[in-house]
Amino acid sequence: MEYYVGELSRPYLRTLSLMPENQETPIHFLKTWITPEKYFYRRNHFSYPMLSPHAFFLPITGEVKQTLIFPYCYLKSLSSKSVTMVLECSGNKRSRFSPRVYGEQWEDGAISQGVWKGVALRDLLNMSGLNSAAVEVVFEGYDYGKRTDMEGIFHYARSLPMEKAMHQDTIIAYELNGKSIPYAQGGPFRLIIPQWYAMASVKWLKQITVIDHNFDGPFQTVDYIYYPHKEDDIGKKPVTNIKTDSIIQQPLSYTTLDTGVHNINGIAWTGYGTITDVELSFDEGTTWKRAKLRKDTNQQYAWTFWEYQWNVEEEGEYTIMCRAKDSTGGVQPLEAEWNRKGYGYNAVYTIKVKVE
Amino acid sequence: MEYYVGELSRPYLRTLSLMPENQETPIHFLKTWITPEKYFYRRNHFSYPMLSPHAFFLPITGEVKQTLIFPYCYLKSLSSKSVTMVLECSGNKRSRFSPRVYGEQWEDGAISQGVWKGVALRDLLNMSGLNSAAVEVVFEGYDYGKRTDMEGIFHYARSLPMEKAMHQDTIIAYELNGKSIPYAQGGPFRLIIPQWYAMASVKWLKQITVIDHNFDGPFQTVDYIYYPHKEDDIGKKPVTNIKTDSIIQQPLSYTTLDTGVHNINGIAWTGYGTITDVELSFDEGTTWKRAKLRKDTNQQYAWTFWEYQWNVEEEGEYTIMCRAKDSTGGVQPLEAEWNRKGYGYNAVYTIKVKVE
């Protein structure tokens, strides 16, 4: 029967743009611990870079005792570590801001979870040896292109303060989920920064440079800054750690349900700290009920699954709200902190359903 | 170089749900005359039906002189016709209604265009011969399942008034874009109704029955009805022909642009009649400028491409509106006619861009 042939019922990445390629994960279907590569969200600033064999040699230079160039195979022979972690674009959920802001209109799927394996950056920095003048470490990627707001050609580049660069779980990764890092995910070498939004995890690493001042590239000082006001830059601060957040994966908003018992479920995640509670409200936030959590306590950077059995007997329209709390006191606010470039949206997650 | 291997920069269908499967076309990338199968939107009421060899035999029965069963190969041997046409879900753009309505939250991509080849239904009805009692023709699909709003199991079934059933371009299709109709698109036999929204183009045809009354199945009398009011059914009327509509495919809303000349483009389409004008406004609808149209005048059911060269020298935020007009006087309104189930959204298409 020829009519059974072909792809049926397969979820795909949701494309926002192709040049550069930005595709988000259909998060309401992704209920696995590890996001498979084909569903891993993709976020790029520029076209995919052409890589030469040089990409398999990673230099560390600048304010170091000794410039070193690490070949791929040598780096793989060093003592390694693996981190299972949420990677989330700081613009995730941008389309939910009100008033709306310019930029890629992400819904909820600029987030994925993977196991990254690599070498601790501090091991490499210690091999090079830091000069006393060292203030920050700059990570330059192979990707480059134009910006709409200034003249010139720019490589994507970001810096880290020395403390974060020397964090035990800041790694130069070469594997994702047990395989060489896929090209679209930034291989052969990608910087991986747990707890921070993904702009810090620079893809296609070209060079690491220790500098004696604060880096002022446009992806450090123009983008990835919270600007609280539309018209001026007063009160600006850099985007760093992931905010406490959650999502309802089931049911979807604006769906209709039968009366009876329904399993409401989703995931919750945070940057510093770990998720301690997920709560649901069926009365616009007046009272909150605790969901059951399922997490791997050995994986502090990973997301937490949650679920709640909802018994609904009465027909009608319902608003369901969800909020997560973390061990540092982080909690999702009723309203997100608006900012001009639309980063860090983490308001209470709200859906509507009709029971009939 | 292993890092070049793998799928890059490919747009996908945008998944809304998998059971039933509802996936829309990423319309801002589809600028081809014919939508390839892999990007053809999918809209289902139920799980995909299991088809037996019976599906290759199509019965016409009821108020006919003679019940006939048409085998697939026999039907393909009859005189055929092809129609190139827009197929659009009546719920397309549902997510744009304000207040929002329940149902699948389609954005703009529940629309595709294909060439359907088949036999005119009236040829088949004439072979069977109609009884004088004939009032409507009912088309039942193989797909079936439960509804949330009533007890029981229902097949998807719709009827047509005799006039539309006997229209020269109402066909029993067996090919899409030169190949057997793909299973996900309703093969082996699909009813194809140009000018009307796609709920009329019944997939996986199981049986055609001529009846002597008005059909009252739930997909005819509960769904696919415009209910103008939230709380009562006053003023209801059936969903039939496609409303005059358009979309801006480039640029995308909430993107930033350089100063200079930009090509603004998209498509426009309508049900009865043909597109005569597409107009753009840059001043909230006060004045309108005509876009250049590109259409195939031999294909009255197909969409029309349009484009406009926009020269913008001044930085700032811009609202761009687009509206289509057709030969029957149809024009996109500033505000869509709200209805409880969210059909036929066709308000002026509006985007915002920032020039910097």
B228 domain-assigned: no
Q: Please give the C-alpha separations between residue A212 and each of A81, A124, A126, A132, B139, in angstroms, as whole numbers.
A: 29, 18, 17, 9, 76
A238 domain-assigned: no
User: How far is the C-alpha of B158 from the C-alpha of B191, rounded, in Å?
Assistant: 10
A15 and B15 within 8 Å at the Cβ level: the answer is no
- Residue B22: closest C-alpha in chain A: A9
Nearest in space to B257 (alpha carbons), one of B320, B307, B305, B306: B320
| Model pLDDT, residue A7 | 55
Same domain for B160 and B257, yes or no, is no
Average pLDDT over residues A295-318: 96
Nearest in space to A101 (alpha carbons), one of A338, A335, A336: A338
Same domain for B206 and B268, yes or no, is no
CATH assignment of the domain containing A345:
2.60.40.650
Same domain for A310 and A219, yes or no, is no
Which residues in chain A have Cβ-Cβ distances shorter than 8 Å to B100?
A: 254, 352
User: How far is the C-alpha of B130 from the C-alpha of A143, rounded, in Å?
Assistant: 68
A237 domain-assigned: no
B15 and A1 within 8 Å at the Cβ level: the answer is no
Task: State how many domains chain A has.
Answer: 2
A11 and B2 within 8 Å at the Cβ level: the answer is no
Please check whether residue B238 is in contact with residue B160, taking contact to mean a CB–CB distance below 8 angstroms. no
B105 and A252 within 8 Å at the Cβ level: the answer is yes
Note the residue count of chain A: 356
- Residue A3: closest C-alpha in chain B: B183
Nearest in space to A224 (alpha carbons), one of A259, A187, A193, A263: A193
List B residues 62-101 in contact with A (Cβ-Cβ < 8 A). 100-101
List A residues 257-276 in contact with B (Cβ-Cβ < 8 A). 257-258
Query: Which strand ranges, in their side-by-side order, compose the sheet holding B316-326?
Result: B255-257, B349-355, B316-326, B275-281, B289-290
Which residues in chain A have Cβ-Cβ distances shorter than 8 Å to B14?
A: 12, 14-15
| Model pLDDT, residue B9 | 66
Q: A147 pLDDT exceeds 60? A: yes
Contacts of B50 (CB under 8 A, 6+ apart): B142
Q: A322 pLDDT exceeds 60? A: yes
Tokens of A336: 């997100």
Task: Report the share of chain A in percent with pLDDT over 70.
Answer: 97
Same domain for A47 and A196, yes or no, is yes
Tell me the shortest Cα–Cα distance from B94 to chain A, in angstroms: 11
Contacts of A228 (CB under 8 A, 6+ apart): A234, A235, A236, A337, A338, A339, A340
Domain around A277: 245-355
Question: What is the torsional sign of CA B162, B165, B167, B168?
Answer: negative
Which residues in chain A have Cβ-Cβ distances shorter than 8 Å to B182?
A: 3, 6
Tokens of B192: 């194809």
Which residues in chain A have Cβ-Cβ distances shorter than 8 Å to B103?
A: 254, 256
A148 and B257 within 8 Å at the Cβ level: the answer is yes
**Which residue bears the tokens 């003679």?**
B66
Tell me the shortest Cα–Cα distance from B215 to chain A, in angstroms: 24
User: How far is the C-alpha of B254 from the C-alpha of A45, rounded, in Å?
Assistant: 16
User: How far is the C-alpha of A112 from the C-alpha of A92, rounded, in Å?
Assistant: 11
Contacts of B144 (CB under 8 A, 6+ apart): B46, B49, B153, B154, B155, B156
Same domain for A289 and A176, yes or no, is no
CATH assignment of the domain containing A68:
3.90.420.10
Interface mutation vs chain A, best among B10, B15, B52, B95, most A CBs within 10 Å: B15
User: How far is the C-alpha of B356 from the C-alpha of B353, rounded, in Å?
Assistant: 10
Under DSSP, the state recorded for A223 is S
Q: Please give the C-alpha separations between residue B279 and each of B249, B286, B307, in angstroms, as whole numbers.
A: 14, 12, 10
User: How far is the C-alpha of B87 from the C-alpha of A336, rounded, in Å?
Assistant: 39
In a structure prediction context, what are the per-residue pLDDT tens digits for chain B, which is 356 residues long?
444 444 566 788 999 988 899 999 988 888 899 999 989 999 999 999 989 899 999 999 999 999 999 999 999 999 999 999 999 999 999 999 999 999 999 999 999 999 999 999 999 999 999 999 999 999 999 999 999 999 999 999 999 999 999 999 999 999 999 999 999 999 999 999 999 999 999 999 999 999 999 999 999 999 999 999 999 999 999 999 999 999 999 999 999 999 999 999 999 999 999 999 999 999 999 999 999 999 998 999 999 999 999 999 999 999 999 999 999 999 999 999 999 999 999 999 999 999 99
Which residues in chain A have Cβ-Cβ distances shorter than 8 Å to B18?
A: 9, 11, 29
User: How far is the C-alpha of B209 from the C-alpha of B205, rounded, in Å?
Assistant: 11
Same domain for A113 and A249, yes or no, is no
pLDDT tens-digit series, residues A127-141: 999 999 999 999 999
| Model pLDDT, residue A215 | 98
Tokens of B108: 């703009």
From A162, A188, A223, give the residue that closes a domain: A223
Tokens of A159: 């810096």
| Cα B142-B143-B145 angle, rounded to 5 deg | 135
From B223, B253, B276, give the residue that closes a domain: B223
- Selecting from B6, B16, B26 the residue whose C-beta is nearest the C-beta of A182 gives B6
A3 and B100 within 8 Å at the Cβ level: the answer is no
Tell me the shortest Cα–Cα distance from A8 to chain B, in angstroms: 7
Note the residue count of chain B: 356
Tokens of A152: 């010139």
Pairing state between β A275-281 and A289-290: antiparallel
Q: A267 pLDDT exceeds 50? A: yes
A8 and B21 within 8 Å at the Cβ level: the answer is yes
Tell me the shortest Cα–Cα distance from A206 to chain B, in angstroms: 15
Same domain for A164 and A299, yes or no, is no
Question: What is the torsional sign of CA A212, A218, A219, A225?
Answer: positive
B18 and A11 within 8 Å at the Cβ level: the answer is yes
Which residues in chain B have Cβ-Cβ distances shorter than 8 Å to A48?
A: 8-9
B231 to chain A, any CB pair closer than 8 A? The answer is no
Same domain for B172 and B68, yes or no, is yes
Tell me the shortest Cα–Cα distance from A244 to chain B, in angstroms: 26
pLDDT tens-digit series, residues A78-118: 999 999 999 999 999 999 999 999 999 999 999 999 999 99
B184 and A8 within 8 Å at the Cβ level: the answer is yes
Under DSSP, the state recorded for B311 is E
A65 domain-assigned: yes
Tokens of B266: 């998209």
Same domain for A256 and A132, yes or no, is no
User: How far is the C-alpha of A169 from the C-alpha of B271, rounded, in Å?
Assistant: 59
Same domain for A52 and A193, yes or no, is yes
Same domain for A166 and A106, yes or no, is yes
- Residue B189: closest C-alpha in chain A: A3
From B223, B254, B274, give the residue that closes a domain: B223
Tokens of A170: 């800041």
pLDDT tens-digit series, residues A28-56: 888 899 999 989 999 999 999 989 899 99
Burial grade of A20 (CB within 10 A; 0-12, 13-18, 19 or more) = middle
ipTM of the complex: 0.87
User: How far is the C-alpha of A298 from the C-alpha of B326, rounded, in Å?
Assistant: 63
A102 and B254 within 8 Å at the Cβ level: the answer is yes
B9 and A17 within 8 Å at the Cβ level: the answer is no
Nearest in space to A114 (alpha carbons), one of A167, A58, A180, A49: A180
Tell me the shortest Cα–Cα distance from A67 to chain B, in angstroms: 26
User: How far is the C-alpha of B94 from the C-alpha of B110, rounded, in Å?
Assistant: 10
List B residues 309-338 in contact with A (Cβ-Cβ < 8 A). none
How many contacts (CB atoms, under 8 Å) link A and B? 117
Tokens of B246: 């358009």
A345 domain-assigned: yes
Q: How confident is the model at residue A4 (pLDDT cuts 50, 70, 90)?
A: very low
A103 to chain B, any CB pair closer than 8 A? The answer is yes
B232 domain-assigned: no
User: How far is the C-alpha of B97 from the C-alpha of B263, rounded, in Å?
Assistant: 28
| Model pLDDT, residue A29 | 85
Same domain for B108 and B168, yes or no, is yes
B239 domain-assigned: no
**pLDDT, chain A, mean:** 95
A97 domain-assigned: yes
Under DSSP, the state recorded for A55 is G
